Structure 1
Amino acid sequence: MKKSTTGLLLGSALVVGLSGCASSASQSSMESSASADAWYQHPFVCGLAGGLIGGGIGYASSGESDEDQGAAIGTTAGATIGAMLCADTSPAPVEPAPRDTDGDGVIDADDQCPGTPAGVAVDAVGCPLDSDNDGVPDYQDQCPGTPAGAEVNALGCEEDLVLRDVNFEFDSATLTMGAEQILDGVAEKLRANRNVRVRIEGHTDSVGSDAYNQQLSQERADSVADYLSSQGVARDRMQTTGYGEAQPVATNDTDAGRAENRRVELGEWE
Structure 2
Amino acid sequence: MKKSTTGLLLGSALVVGLSGCASSASTDTSSNADKAWYQHPFVCGVAGGLIGGGIGYGTSGESDEDTGAAVGATLGTVAGALLCAEPNKEPAVASPVDSDGDGVYDENDQCPGTPAGVAVDAVGCPLDSDGDGVPDFQDQCPGTPAGVKVNALGCEADLVLRDVNFEFDSATLTPQAEQVLLGVAEPLRNNSNVGVVIEGHTDSTGSAEYNKKLSQERAASVARFLASQGIDPSRMRAVGYGEEQPIASNETDAGRAENRRVELGEWQ
TM-score range, shorter chain: 0.7 to 0.9
1:187 Cα shift?
Answer: 2.3
3-state SS of paired residue (1:35): helix
Q: Deviations over 1:205-249 (max 9, x none)?
A: 344444443333222122112222232323343333333334333
1:8 Cα shift?
Answer: 2.6
Question: Normalising by the residue count of structure 2, what TM-score does the alignment of the two structures yield?
Answer: 0.73
Which residue of structure 2 aligns with residue 147 of structure 1? Answer: 145
Q: Which whole-Å CA distance do the structure 2 matches of 1:211 and 1:12 have between them?
A: 109
3-state SS of paired residue (2:189): helix
Matched ranges for 1:29-108 at <5 A: 29-31=28-30, 33=31, 35=33, 57=55, 61=59, 82=80, 85-88=83-86, 100-108=98-106
1:167 aligns with 2:165: yes
46 and 203 in structure 1: CA distance in 2 versus 1, 3 angstrom threshold: same
3-state SS of paired residue (1:243): strand
Aligned-CA RMSD value: 4.2
Matched ranges for 1:85-234 at <5 A: 85-88=83-86, 100-234=98-232
- 5+ residue gaps, structure 2: none
1:147 Cα shift?
Answer: 1.5
1:11 aligns with 2:17: no
1:34 Cα shift?
Answer: 8.2
Q: Deviations over 1:163-189 (max 9, x none)?
A: 011111122211012211221232232
Q: Which whole-Å CA distance do the structure 2 matches of 1:160 and 1:55 have between them?
A: 96
Matched ranges for 1:18-29 at <5 A: 18-19=18-19, 21-22=21-22, 25-26=25-26, 29=28
Which residue of structure 2 aligns with residue 263 of structure 1? Answer: 261
Q: Deviations over 1:144-176 (max 9, x none)?
A: 221121100111101110101111112221101
255 and 47 in structure 1: CA distance in 2 versus 1, 3 angstrom threshold: farther
Number of residues of Structure 1 aligned to a counterpart in Structure 2: 268
1:263 Cα shift?
Answer: 1.3
Q: 2:32 touches 2:40 (CA, 8 Å); kept in 1? A: no
Give, as a single letter, the amino acid of the residue that structure 2 aligns with 1:25: A
Q: Which whole-Å CA distance do the structure 2 matches of 1:165 and 1:76 have between them?
A: 95
1:240 aligns with 2:242: no
Q: Which whole-Å CA distance do the structure 2 matches of 1:20 and 1:269 have between them?
A: 76
- 5+ residue gaps, structure 1: none
Q: Deviations over 1:60-87 (max 9, x none)?
A: 54789xx9xx99x989986885466324
17-26 or 189-198: which moved more? Answer: 17-26
1:4 Cα shift?
Answer: 1.5
49-58 or 194-203: which moved more? Answer: 49-58
Identity %: 75
3-state SS of paired residue (2:165): coil
3-state SS of paired residue (1:239): strand
